[in-house]
A and B are shown apart, each in its own frame.
Chain A
Amino acid sequence: MHLLSRYLPASLRSAPASALFGIFVICLYLLVVVLAPVIAPYSETEILGAAYEPWSSTYWLGTDSLGRDMLSRIIYGARNTVGVALMATVLAFLLGGFMGLLAATVGGLVDQLLSRTVDVLLAIPSLIFALLILTIVGTSATSLILVIAVLDSTKVFRLARSVAQTVVVMDYVEAARLRGEGMWYLIRREILPNVSAPLIAEFGLRFCFVFLFISTLSFLGLGAQPPSADWGSMVRDNATLIAFGDITPLLPAGAIALLTIAINFVVDWKLHAASGLHD
């Protein structure tokens, strides 16, 4: 650990082993996402052999219900699932975060209007809401990202607004207001740096939820559409194999679980750092 820490940037040196493991796993996933076509032995959609072939030197993890290479599909699946989840979360944070900070900074009528709108959205169960919208507009990667982003931005809004409200009342914000600073400066330079820690931590958690949400939608048949690979639908398509004692369908599920755990390790570390706890 000591040898390793010499090569780490200063901010990571104090990180616990679990957080380092988390960061390592996340980097690995990102690498796979970016380099999928290079790493994957076969194409994502090509039917190569018979259905449900066992693990072999040709097909390392066997083939799926249609005879496509399982390993290649898991690798490409990272692209579809992680990519969509990442886009949706980033969008949710841009939208919800900005609106939340705006509501806290301006207050008054703007705050009321935004908060009540969010309350209405929160009152509708998100899975049902997503199913409804996706059935109407049809399932595509874009609509999936947009629907999830809007749904999730409501939760980000609530967090951003409440943490920003404790910062807005500080004297340094008042001093900046009295200086005559505009809204954008207040949000970006005075408030955002002081609320970033909880928002970053929340980003990690939200990402996990979005990830699981997409997998749920895919499992229900409303996520990524065939033939593109995604981990949720891969579990569903090959679920019958479990009955024969084959663990292959659990691998995409395991991939989801591993990423979720890795992200939570990092989030825990960030949360502790932000709250100033020692143990």
Chain B
Amino acid sequence: MQRVDYMTEAQNKENLLTIRGLKISARVDNKWCEIVHGIDLDLKRGEVLGLIGESGAGKSSVGLAAMGFTRNGCEITGGSVDFDGIDMARASDSQKQALRGMRIAYVAQSAAASFNPAHKLINQYVEAPTTHGTSNDKDAREEAISLYRKLQLPAPESIGFRYPHQLSGGQLQRAMTAMAMSCKPDLIIFDEPTTALDVTTQIEVLAAIREIVREYNTAALYISHDLAVVAQMADRMQVLKNGNTVEIADTATMLAAPVEDYTKTLWAVRNIQRPEADTANADVIMELNNIDASYVKGGEKILKDISIKVKRGQTLAVVGESGSGKSTTARVISGLLEASRGDIVFNGKALPTHFKQRDKNTLRQIQMIYQMPDTALNPRQKVADIIGRPLQFYLGLNRSEKRARTEQLLEQVELDPGQYLNRYPGELSGGQKQRICIARALAAEPEFIICDEVTSALDQAVNKSILDLLTRLQKELNLTYLFITHDLATVQAIADEVVVMLKGEVVEQDTRKALFAPPHHEYTERLLSSVPQMDPDWLNNLLDQRRGQVS
């Protein structure tokens, strides 16, 4: 298929993609239920439209529908998807096949899962241009190298000859973008391309994507739940909720003056401000002294000389990129991983390093809340059993006492006991599951709770309500939290003190106020400046600034 460029100036301004009244239904237990209820969408040539919403809002379904595609078990049941005069919803498979990769490309959330691990990158790159006949093998390879260079991948001449597992997540995401650009498509759909990346890596990918999209004048649908990220990329934004459009506006207008209440809640978590705590005079409940740890005996150290102090009734946030040793620190404290050196002091007493050597009372006092509420709750136990077990195990409550206390705990985490007591975890939403996990931890009447990325699997609005709940419970029960997170907005919302970790070492420990105020440690500075702000010019300014530093 040959592309013809005979468009007049007038046509050029017209919509590239026009979606009208799009309805998508999914089959659940042999019943069809509508998940997208008539969405309209316009995308001009060269324009970037941000699609924003929580999980389940239908943004990915709309993105796929733009290619005339639906997820397994879903179907387009109404409306039209007009891509440059072709109705994608009704186009034949061969028609769509000719367009995909050629004129419409797709960049998925997890590049690591989307590349074929058995083939070299450049061989996967040349597939689309050669099968669509836009280019021969030799030319495609040269183009690949020039695209790799434009996307600022290291060693562009040779990187294509590596296998996917030999690249980092951020590099893979850029290689994927290069692949999407290979046929110079009119439209690219980015489905949460940076969600799985660390903030510091995210910057590079965002900058690379934006530059190349502008250079090729490609239209793009940018799907994300993170408003600040979309603010950097999109000319216009469309907010979706439960398969409906909530609000459409230019990026600047949307950020300055969002109209709908729902849009405002999307960045609610960024507006929580925690009152200053008296960190100087509080007594220390948990102390790590010079901890070393490794997963293999005598092997590489994951933690190097970690010393941390946690004060009673306060929250210590541990921040860092993935692989910085945050979660390993939690495992050492809980006794799941034995420290090879150093000691853990809890309430003035040294703790045995392995949890099996700790007595029941110590185990009771240190509880843990996990990142993924889905795997933290046994799917075959009812809520009443999940919360009831620690009550029976630690406190020896009998049947009726247990029931009364379980109901009380459910009320404490703001769930209606009558409704939730007999449910299985599968019948709860993500936020509700996390509340059950909190209730289970509270049932043990602990003093110290380790929260391991408890909000990162949840949506923004739910995120805020969980943080509010944790803050309230802390006040009521004088709990101490060790709060592990990679999100600095969450740190602002919950922490009294902050520990910054990098490659298994503590870079900085300070109060929240001191940490967020300059002067910073070099790495802290980098981490702080990498967090996307609600300012469409933030990325530009940051890149200018960093370039200035280099030159």
Contact = CB atoms under 8 A, between A and B. Distances in A.
B390 A179 contact: yes
Contacts of B363: 178-180
Nearest to B331: A174
B455 to A, nearest CB: 16
Contacts of B334: 178
Contacts of A193: 378, 380-381
Nearest to A181: B393
A189 B394 CA distance: 17
Which secondary structure dominates chain A's binding surface? helix
Contacts of A189: 378, 381
B262 interface: no
A178 B358 CA distance: 10
B392 to A, nearest CB: 11
Contacts of A190: 378
B336 A178 contact: yes
Given A193-B381, A194-B378, A194-B380, A171 B370 contact: yes
B376 A175 contact: yes
Contacts of B372: 171
A177 B355 CA distance: 9
Contacts of A177: 355
B8 interface: no
B370 to A, nearest CB: 5
Nearest to B385: A189
Contacts of B381: 189, 193
Given A189-B381, A190-B378, A194-B379, A174 B360 contact: no
Interface residues of A, number: 16
Interface residues of B, number: 24
A110 interface: no
B439 interface: no
A193 B385 CA distance: 13
Interface in A154-190: 170-172, 174-181, 189-190
Contacts of B380: 193-194
Interface in A75-110: none
A194 B355 CA distance: 25
Nearest to B377: A172
A198 to B, nearest CB: 14
A171 B376 contact: yes
Question: Which of A175, A178, A179 has the most chain B CB atoms closer than 10 A to its own CB?
Answer: A175
Interface string A186-227: 000110011000000000000000000000000000000000
Given A175-B370, A178-B368, A194-B380, A170 B375 contact: yes
A179 B336 CA distance: 12
Contacts of A176: 389
Contacts of B360: 180
20 contacts: A171-B375, A172-B377, A174-B336, A175-B368, A175-B376, A175-B440, A176-B389, A177-B355, A178-B336, A178-B368, A179-B389, A180-B363, A180-B393, A181-B393, A189-B378, A190-B378, A193-B381, A194-B379, A194-B380, A278-B30
Interface of B: 30, 334-336, 355, 358, 360, 363, 368, 370, 372, 375-381, 389-390, 393-394, 440, 444
Closest 6 CB pairs of A and B: A193-B380, A171-B376, A172-B378, A171-B375, A180-B363, A171-B370
Interface of A: 170-172, 174-181, 189-190, 193-194, 278
Given A171-B370, A171-B376, 13 more contacts: A171-B375, A172-B376, A177-B355, A178-B335, A178-B355, A178-B368, A179-B444, A180-B355, A180-B358, A180-B363, A181-B393, A193-B378, A193-B380
